[in-house]
Structure 1
């Protein structure tokens, strides 16, 4: 969106038509409320940005089908201009006409018609330029079908619109519905506006009051000729100006009858010769290049000849240089309340419940009760939202914060603002940071600059995303983290999304059940976009198939990029190979079974007590975890929790979801340990409230503790090239978290794939020799990097024979030959080494049988019990990898 500059934020409200409560649609579901339909259509209006149109910002849905629309606003209108200016020069009239036609033409290119033009809705900015307001009301209400009031003002409506009458477009008793108004309707309204402007300027009131009489009783062309002649004589330019004004107004008001074929469209009027002297004053509008495009984003950037012009004055209004949607977002964070603002201006009037009783009709026909509440009709008053509270909140933010330096070695946040309070905000919980006005301003500005430099500043985007991601620009930030690049629009357009395919039926069934608590996704527009994005993915991936759950996976990307289907599709297409590689094969059983087995081993590694209990009662991951991983938890959690969860998930590699799953189980640990199989099934059928911030925090800790090769999967995504920034999601502090084993050359982690049956037979994970070296904090040459004061992280237990141990072993490992530690039936035999094992409770124990493959490890605080070894068969002499739980 364009900067706020001298504009203001305005809000107006209206009611959508109420639907009967006892009526269902053809699918048996309740009808979608009209307010939801309007909310879905409104989203497109936020993308319509033109210098001659007031920018739409947001819409909110209240009680009783009330809708409040936020838009760019200016206090001055054409009506005020007529009252303030005694005479209007003909040149100025032509300029106003040309500017209004520019806005109308741009609307028409996007399939929209104003239909509500009047002098109050033609606003003028500080430079006197035309800004058309409320241009989306006709579109968002489905040509007036979703509201109980007509769209437009009778004095300005075209004859063909008046001839249709007040038939409601959705009224089934009216036969054929009237056709929606076209671009020529607005041309008539503009002609009336120009006619008024000329009449007021030349004849003065009370001619304005008699305008309708002129249009009815006199010949239009004769009236226009007389008025324009008087106007031209006053300015001494009888010939040229008289002819130009008469021509343009006459064209606009063609044809006086309901036949409008001769009336031109805005696009045709703009190229009319009468505007030759005006059009040269206006540069052609160029649509800004998007972040993901084949065009150069900097192609039209120019530096001024005097570089000092870039320097800002001390009195510069920095907030005015931010985008309108940013300012509104900060206004809300600073305590802005739309309904409160409208209530203070008496636009919204609350009434006691007793005054809102319905109207009763008695047996004798007498009516008793309330009449129609006029507050449910349209009040087109636009209330200006005061920015004083926001500016007061941001008064201590230094000017440098609006232009942060990206090349500084130190933290961008600390350089942006010297306030101690702001620096301390980073340590607060995420939900508090997201509601802090000053903090969000700094983060939004920083991410905005980084994303504009994407992909050049890709590494800095990753660095800042580790702190947090501002909700306002989460969609673009996710796309950058997923590595989306190129002309995504062209690729999306090239996919056939219209030809019927067998999957269509399943998609139609799934969409009405996917996150329908959300107003945006439950709207008809949301369903339509859902269908297009899902179908595009299915068609463009012929080797994969649609599985139930793909719709839930698509939901976060669609919600964040509701007005950018290509970006939603591109993000989804980049996300699935990274985290769900081959999950959507036609036969994906081997992929999912391997995934669940590795997850089971992760539970055993991080919490053996819980793992033993779940295995004893038969509550295996197959019973509860498939929806978790197939949808990456989107089927389990609402969207607002998914956003926070995925902010961290996208920084990790494909093994991070295992840690999320373990973190969820640990939050439910006490209840799981205390319950049996049936109780656990009931517990997961209605999952209790999960603290997402705690889940994210514990997931990171678990991942930092997990050796890279412990989560090796045969069916994971093939290795990528080295140097991928996605391998540095959590910085250098996370030793194992800092790189993805799948992004390493195969020689880095020497893990060999196991058959699925063999993998299932093992309770705990294996690791590579390279990971063992990392765990022991040893270099390849055997020199320790561990400080003398620190304790060893692991205990290496070598179960080979004493002879093999003597020929060579890892420094610091202890020898416990299998034959001396266990009886023939698998029971642990008390030996001197038992005390050593007891002292390592809570640490990692690695059991080694041969150096080419190693078996890990458990980390727990439970005591050693000989029974636990024998019952689970964790030691055997036939395998080459073993695990020693504790």
Structure 2
């Protein structure tokens, strides 16, 4: 998106044609409303950026098939020349002709035809350069098939268009739509515009269409038309451009020139040298070198010296519109105030523009538009509202996302960081821990997933057209995937869904398509609707990180291990809930498979998934376990009060979940979980160890255990049947050493309050304990702790254990450690885990201590 600069934000509205309510498609589903089709086709127009075209910004769908389109707008147009009533100069005519052709040629390269070219759709910016408006109307309406009004204006339509007559989709007498117009249709319209510029007035405006067509066909010769019009209107300038006009206004379309051909006409030899070819900006993910204009003044404070500078106008036009909406902008209200939308009559046919509505950004200091990063020092004065912004960070996320000033500053900061990606990757992670502005979420996610390189070339190299056996299942799943969303339910959304899913299946021959893959695809496709390659790349990076081998043809062993670890996480964090669910037989197999197979996209709407995944992408592969436990804890009271049947009904229609609370509690659970407790032998193999994204302040359990280099003290793989037999998770010896800070000589890992967060419970006999034990551990022999019915006995050692309730309890011993841990869970001790390998793992380390003999 280019900067707003001197442009305005304009809007026009029209109605899509209505469909009958009692008709279904070939798949038995209701027909997709035409307004939804238009909304889907519109999206690609937002990517069409050229100096001669007005940038499309947004489209919204209202009641009764109403659509409102927002685009770049300028108040001046060629209509102003017509109102002057005098011919334009030859230099001006040639400039306008050349610039219009530049815009038309660029459109044609993207498969677009204007078809609505007219004097009031050729806008002029403050420098007098051409900006073509409404160039996407013909495309978004499927060549006019989805609306009941004609695309184009009679005075400027080419003869072949007029000869086809009007077409109304709702008219049963017309079975077939007319053939789509080509680039030469716009050339005719341009020829008429140039005639009018030379004549200084509108032509043929008061003649009926049939009479106009008859007049043109009667003349038959281009030279005769020019001669007659020149004599009638005194426009001798027409004779000067007669050869060029002959190429534009030719009755026979096949003989008419195209915009590309006309740009090379000798008539432009004197001005073409003043125009440089348009170079599309390099995308963030490509093989091309990219750079921004980084030249800064010697004194950086000069950037914000002028209080009258309109810094907002330098921001991208979609940013300005986004902020306008946050500031309370309402499109329908604006159109109503301009009397463009009226209650009577209820139908609006031809589109109209509104003038720009100013965005309120409060008192944002100039330095906010030039954020400094890391240790960069600034002599710039602080914003008057800096304290308010600091306070805003502590507010709920939903409030922050609606705060105009806060979002402006966050968008500017992320924009700078993303332009410096991957060099500033670490800072992207740091800022993402605070929050991610919705406007840049797609690119921010891609950065968090480490997407790099020429993703477009890779995506294009994948065969997405050859039929494969999975096609049928994809076709069945797509119409059921997040179809409440207007974008994903559009035909264009279905096409893109199909292509991205098929690309993934084809490029991963060792994996298969499982139901749920479409739900995983949905967030990435929604955020990157106009960039299938990026949606595919993000999805391809996401799956191995969080769902490694979940899509094997036989994934039962992977799923069962995952669910078993999840069950242990429930027991670790909430033993009372775990005991109840196990007693009634409500195991994770009955409800959690859709959760993890789709990373919760099957159970939550997109707006909740966005907030959930903003944090999920900062966590490692074990973070989903914490999300699952957090969901259960929100439903805790209802689960504890109900039996098996009621729980089944509860999860068949999951109650409303507070996602922000879920995220907040997930992070707390994650920080209390020893990193080796979620070890899975079927997880992604180790890559490179690093910070998991939650920052240095949570290094208590920060790194992904799967990424840690394996040593003799690491966890050993455990057979699935043995894993299922244990209620509590195991942790590795190296984890215990790290948590107890044995290498530093300290007996315990302490919280900021000074209380130990972990205690090692050695259940061996007193004699074995005396031969060597972990420093700071407490000895509770197994046979002295529990009665025959599993109740915790009262003794000094168990009294000490009661004092540690709520801390992480690591059970150590040769044998019976699993049973001891299970007994603790049974009596509702939270955060109980087992030392993998027992005390024998620690003997070679030399860290066991022997008490000094008593004298």
Fold conserved (TM > 0.5)? yes
Check whether the contact 2:13–2:69 (CA below 8 A) recurs between aligned residues: yes
Q: 1:846 aligns with which of 810, 821, 831?
A: 810
Q: Quick check: 585-594 or 275-284, which moved more?
A: 275-284
1:814 aligns with 2:785: no
Q: Does the residue aligned with 1:577 lie in a helix, a strand or coil?
A: helix
CA contact (8 A) 1:169 1:178 kept: no
**Following TM superposition, by how much is the alpha carbon of 1:581 offset from its aligned partner in structure 2, in angstroms?**
0.3
3-state SS of paired residue (2:422): coil
Give distance in 2, aligned partners of 1:786 and 1:116.
Answer: 72
Q: Distance in 1 between matches of 2:222 and 2:549?
A: 71
Report how far residue 857 of structure 1 moved.
9.8
Q: Helix, strand or coil for the counterpart of 1:24?
A: coil
The answer to whether 1:775 aligns with 2:739 is yes
- Asked if the contact 1:765/1:855 (under 8 Å) is kept, the reply is no
Match status 1:703 vs 2:670: yes
SS of structure 2 residue aligned to 1:735: helix
> Residue in 1 aligned with 2:79?
79
Alignment partner for residue 432 of structure 2, among 454, 461, 465?
Answer: 465
TM-score, normalised by the number of residues in structure 1: 0.88
Q: Of residues 603, 623, 626 in structure 1, which corresponds to 2:590?
A: 623
Kindly indicate whether the alpha-carbon contact (under 8 Å) linking 2:16 and 2:34 is maintained by their aligned counterparts in 1: yes
Q: Deviations over 1:766-795 (max 9, x none)?
A: 001222123324335557675997122222
- Please point out which of 421, 430, 442 is paired with 1:475: 442
Deviations 1:576-633 (A, max 9, x none): 0000000000000000000000000000000101101111110000000000000000
* Deviation for aligned residue 1:82: 3.0
1:711-764 per-residue CA deviation (whole Å, 9 max, x = no partner) reads: 000000001124x5xx34011111244321122211396111100000000000
1:278-677 correspondence to structure 2 within 5 Å: 278-298=271-291, 301=293, 303=295, 311=303, 313-350=306-343, 373=345, 375-387=346-358, 390=359, 393-408=360-375, 418-677=385-644
Q: Secondary structure at the match of 1:847?
A: strand
Moved more, 398-407 or 311-320: 311-320
Q: 2:92 aligns to what? A: 92
List per-residue Cα deviations over 1:428-462 (Å, max 9, x = no partner). Answer: 00000000000000000000000000000000000
Question: What residue is the counterpart of 2:111 in the other structure?
Answer: 111
The SS at the match of 1:376 is coil
Deviation readout 1:22-48 (Å, 9 max, x if unpaired)? 001111110000000000000011011
Change over 3 Å in CA distance of 1:737–1:32 after alignment to 2: farther
Q: For residue 698 of structure 2, give the secondary structure of its aligned residue in structure 1.
A: coil
1:647-796 to structure 2, matched below 5 A, reads 647-722=614-689, 724=690, 727-747=691-711, 750-781=714-745, 786=750, 790-796=754-760
- Cα deviation digits, residues 260-291 of structure 1 (max 9, x gap): 11101111111122211121111100011000
1:252 paired to 2:245: no
CA distance in 2, matches of 1:527, 1:61: 19
Range that drifts further, 322-331 or 787-796: 787-796
**Contact (CA 8 Å) 1:779, 1:785: kept in 2 or not?**
no
Provide structure 1 residue ranges, at least 5 long, that are not aligned to the other structure.
235-240, 352-372
Partner of 1:58, secondary structure, is strand
Q: 1:10-21, aligned counterparts within 5 Å?
A: 10-21=10-21
Q: For residue 243 of structure 1, report the CA deviation from its aligned partner.
A: 6.3
Distance 1:378 1:662 in 2: 54
> How many Å separate the matches in 1 of 2:135 and 2:283?
24
Report the CA distance between 1:307 and its aligned residue: 9.9
**Residue in structure 2 matched with residue 140 of structure 1 by the alignment:** 140
Structure 1 Cα separation of the partners of residues 294 and 459 of structure 2: 32
Give distance in 1, aligned partners of 2:141 and 2:576.
Answer: 59
Secondary structure, aligned partner of 1:11: strand
**Does the 8 Å CA contact 2:104/2:259 hold for their aligned counterparts?**
yes
Larger deviation, residues 285-294 vs 402-411:
402-411
Residue 778 of structure 1 contacts residue 785 of structure 1 at CA under 8 Å; is this kept in 2? no
Write the distance in 1 (CA, Å) between the matches of 2:532 and 2:404.
Answer: 30
Give the 3-state SS of the residue equivalent to 2:354 in structure 1. strand
What SS does structure 2 have at the residue aligned with 1:13? Answer: strand
- Alpha carbons 1:44, 1:563 under 8 Å: kept: yes
Question: Equivalent residue of 1:108, what SS?
Answer: helix
Equivalent residue, structure 2, for 1:368: none
CA gap of 1:302–1:414, structure 2 versus 1, over 3 A, is closer
Task: Measure the CA separation in 2 of the matches of 1:508 and 1:261.
Answer: 41
Kindly provide the CA deviation profile for residues 639-682 of structure 1, in whole angstroms up to 9, marking residues without a partner as x: 00000000000000000000000000000111111111111101
- 2:130 — aligned with what? 130
Q: How many residues align?
A: 833
CA contact (8 A) 1:497 1:535 kept: yes
Q: What's the offset of the Cα at 1:570?
A: 0.2
CA deviation map 1:318-342 (0-9, x unaligned): 0100000000000000110000011
Distance 1:521 1:412 in 2: 48
Query: Quick one: distance in 2 between partners of 1:21 and 1:592?
Result: 43
CA contact (8 A) 1:848 1:881 kept: no
Task: State the TM-score, normalized to the length of structure 2.
Answer: 0.91
Q: Which residue of 2 aligns with 1:38?
A: 38
> In the aligned structure 1, how far is the partner of 2:835 from the partner of 2:678?
22
SS in 2 for 1:714: coil
Residues 605, 858 of structure 1: 8 Å contact kept: no
Q: For 1:120, what is the secondary structure of its paired residue?
A: helix
Q: Secondary structure at the residue paired with 2:394?
A: coil
Gaps of at least 5 residues in structure 2 are 842-855
**8 Å CA contact 1:652, 1:737 repeated in 2:** no
Give the secondary structure class of the aligned counterpart of 2:226: helix
Contact 2:400 2:406 in 1 (8 A): yes
Q: Distance in 2 between matches of 1:640 and 1:491?
A: 30
Secondary structure of the corresponding residue to residue 53 of structure 1: coil
Deviation at 1:418, TM superposition (A): 4.8
Q: Report the CA distance between 1:843 and its aligned residue.
A: 2.1
Q: Is the 8 A contact 1:828 1:866 kept in 2?
A: no
Cα distance in 1 between the residues matched to 2:395 and 2:833: 44
- CA positional deviation for 1:205: 8.2
Distance, in Å, in 2 between the alignment partners of 1:411 and 1:678 is: 63
Contact 1:847 1:881 in 2 (8 A): no
Aligned counterparts of 1:691 and 1:850: Cα–Cα separation in 2: 44
Q: Work out the CA distance in 2 between the residues paired with 1:449 and 1:878.
A: 49
Describe the shift of the 1:274–1:874 C-alpha distance in structure 2 as closer, same or farther (beyond 3 A). Answer: closer
Aligned residue number for residue 265 of structure 2: 272
Specify whether residues 103 and 308 from structure 1 end up closer, same or farther in structure 2 by C-alpha distance, changes over 3 A only. farther
Match of 1:362? none
How far apart, CA to CA, are the structure 1 residues paired with 2:836 and 2:163?
94
Give the C-alpha shift of residue 91 in structure 1: 1.4
Mapping 1:149-164, distance limit 5 Å = 149-164=149-164
Name the SS for the 2:118 alignment partner.
coil
Q: Is the 8 A contact 1:659 1:702 kept in 2?
A: yes
